[in-house]
Amino acid sequence: MKKTAAIIILLNIFNILLFATDIKFNTLPKSIEEFLSLRDEIAKTPEGGGAMMVIALILYSNDENLGRQCLTVAVNQDQIVQGNYYKGYKLISSKMSLIESQISKQKYIPNSYINGTSPENNYELPKNNLSLSFRRNKYSQTDESGSVKVFVNCSGADSPRPITLKINDKGIWKAFEYSSLVVGIKKAKKEIKTDNL
């Protein structure tokens, strides 16, 4: 029995390592043009597309106007409608409302996906050399299927968060299901109050 359990644990570790990927970039984009340039460079894989969704959320938490533009081009085509965020389009209201609501409660949620952040350092981003760590499991599907679920490490949660991505006709992976990315996380140290009485 112990031997079987050890084999299962080793297989699980092997699966995690087999499907682990880091996405690295130097600094956050400062404009929609820089965002699109980075997206076209790294979103050629599901993990790269997932990273772009996280980056769009980080940008939104710092600058709502730029963030809305970036979210519009980071998501799958079926989630945008006519509007005024970017080139006559915007993210559908139900998705945008969820993002607004959750990030207004904990502005640092998106930062928690960047390696090196933690509740102890108030989820402060590194100055440069940013990275995110992704993994897949046996249910993630293959790139050839056109729809892949990846899991991004989160320093504010006990387990990675899922993102489902779909590839578009230009070979760019875009976020399709990402609601878990805005679920609450452990409070930043600066928010934790102690009772001194």
Per-residue HEC secondary structure of 115-176 comes to CCCCCCCCCCCCCCCEEEEEECCCCCCCHHHCEEEEEECCCCCCCCEEEEEEECCCCCEEEE
Structural domain includes residue 4: no
Structural domain includes residue 195: no
What pLDDT shows up at residue 16? Answer: 45
Average pLDDT along the chain, 197 residues, taken 10 residues at a time: 45 53 96 98 97 98 97 97 95 97 97 97 95 93 93 97 97 98 95 59
- C-alpha distances in angstroms, 59 versus 19, 24, 128? 28, 17, 15
Nearest one of 61, 97, 67 to 188, comparing CA atoms: 61
Structural domain includes residue 108: yes
| Structural domain of 155 | 27-186
What pLDDT shows up at residue 171? Answer: 97
The structure's pTM equals 0.88
Residue 162's SS3 state is: strand
Structural domain includes residue 134: yes
What pLDDT shows up at residue 13? Answer: 47
- 185 and 197 in contact (C-beta within 8 Å)? no
CB neighbour class for 101 (10 Å; exposed up to 12, middle 13-18, buried from 19)? exposed
Structural domain includes residue 52: yes
Angle value at C-alpha 148, between 65 and 54, nearest 5 degrees:
25
d(CA 140, CA 163): 10
- 110 and 74 in contact (C-beta within 8 Å)? no
Structural domain includes residue 168: yes
What pLDDT shows up at residue 195? Answer: 56
Domains contained in the chain, number: 1
Structural domain includes residue 10: no
Residue 124 has which token pair? 């402060």
Structural domain includes residue 2: no
d(CA 72, CA 24): 22
